[in-house]
Structure 1
Amino acid sequence: MSIQVPWSVLPDYRCFGCSPHNLHGLRLEFQAHPEGLQARFALDRGFESYPGVVHGGLVGVICDETIGNLIVLERRRPAFTVSMRTRFVTPLLVDRPYRCVARLRADDGDLFHGSADVLDADGVVCATATAVYQPFSLDQVRHQLTLGDDEVALLDQAITATLAPNGA
């Protein structure tokens, strides 16, 4: 069963990673996972680098989206990515099923830490990522976002009321 991300309360959100409204995006959907959150995906040739191989930058996007949405769902705070390190074990191939599993680590003062693994259909790790995030309040970053007052209030309410992937 898919988990609704808080951004879905905005009728026209365009996130490249997770919005169903962005026709050029990845349109990731998230499901609960015992370790945190997961996204299942298969990318076609429109997302390739070398012939038949998924562009590595998209692997980073998928990990970042999955970890970032896990933060919002569990910590109930949005956060900007501060740094991210991706390790590629094997190339991802186009038109093959994969899943990204994200988990959070202990917070470090004001920062959130997360990691993700991208696994193939056999459960073999193809890529890993670790990332650090700086939480923010929507009011703090109003000057950077294109949201009206009503949208900020709606999104704040959705983030506060959201359930963690494990139902907490």
Structure 2
Amino acid sequence: MGIKVPWSVLPDYRCFGCSPHNPAGLGLTFTPNPEGVQARFRLDRGFESYPGVVHGGLVGVICDETMGNLIVLDRRRTAFTVSLRTRFVAPLLVDRDYVCVARLHDGPEAPLIHASAEVVDAEGDMCATATATYQPFTLQDVRDQLTLGDDEVALLTQALTANGA
């Protein structure tokens, strides 16, 4: 079973990466990993670029989602992606199993948060790596950009501060 992300308190959240309410999304779920969190995934032909190859932009999305959710789960803070760099070692193929593992590299008080992720195939071979920098924010400060109502800000704030959410 996956880790419950704080956004799940919103009954209609539509995150492309991790929402179960977005039929066009990736539906990623996150589980603990000794280094941080991980997401196992398999993408079909609806996510390809060249025939049989997963679109590289989606690999970046998966890494960003995994790193971003690690920040929320580990630091209990929300953060926007400031920069993301993805390096492709081998093409990801459609209808194959992969795992993305994310880890954090800064202490909890760092003004910017640095993270990395690796995508490996079922044999453990490296397929892609990513590094990213994130800018933490408070929900109250960005509620207009996120189109959150007072009740939603309160729900999310409570979920972020709850133990084990």
Q: Which runs of 4+ in 1 moved over 6 A?
A: none
Question: Is structure 2 residue 9 aligned with structure 1 residue 19?
Answer: no
User: Counterpart of 1:126?
Assistant: 127
| Pairwise CA distance, 1:142 | 1.4
Query: C-alpha distance in 2, partners of 1:114/1:95?
Result: 27
Helix, strand or coil at the partner of 1:159: helix
> Mapping of 1:50-89 within 5 angstroms?
50-89=50-89
Deviations 1:88-111 (A, max 9, x none): 000000000000000000148310
Structure 2: distance between partners of 1:110 and 1:163: 24
| Contact 1:117-1:128 within 8 A present in 2 as well | yes
Tell me, which stretches of 5 or more residues in structure 2 are unaligned? none
Q: Structure 1 residue 75: deviation in Å?
A: 0.5
State the aligned residue count.
Answer: 164
Partner residue in 1 for 2:155: 154
Shift of 1:163: 2.2
Q: Does 1:104 pair with 2:107?
A: no
Identity of paired residues, percent? 76
Deviation at 1:147, TM superposition (A): 1.2
Report deviation, 1:162: 4.2
Whichever residue aligns with residue 34 of structure 2, its letter is P
Q: Structure 1 regions of 5+ residues with no counterpart? A: none
- How far apart are 1:145 and its partner, in Å? 1.0
Alpha-carbon distance in 2 for matches of 1:70, 1:115: 10
Name the CA distance, whole Å, in 1 between partners of 2:163 and 2:131: 24
Q: Which residue does the alignment assign to 2:2? A: 2
Aligned residues: CA RMSD: 1.1
Deviation per residue, 1:73-97 (Å, 9 max, x gap): 0100000000011000000000000
Alpha-carbon deviations, 1:43-85, whole Å to 9, x = none?
A: 0000000000000000000000000000000100000000011
Q: Return the alpha-carbon distance in structure 1 between the equivalents of residues 49 and 163 of structure 2.
A: 37
Q: Give 2:137's aligned amino acid.
A: F
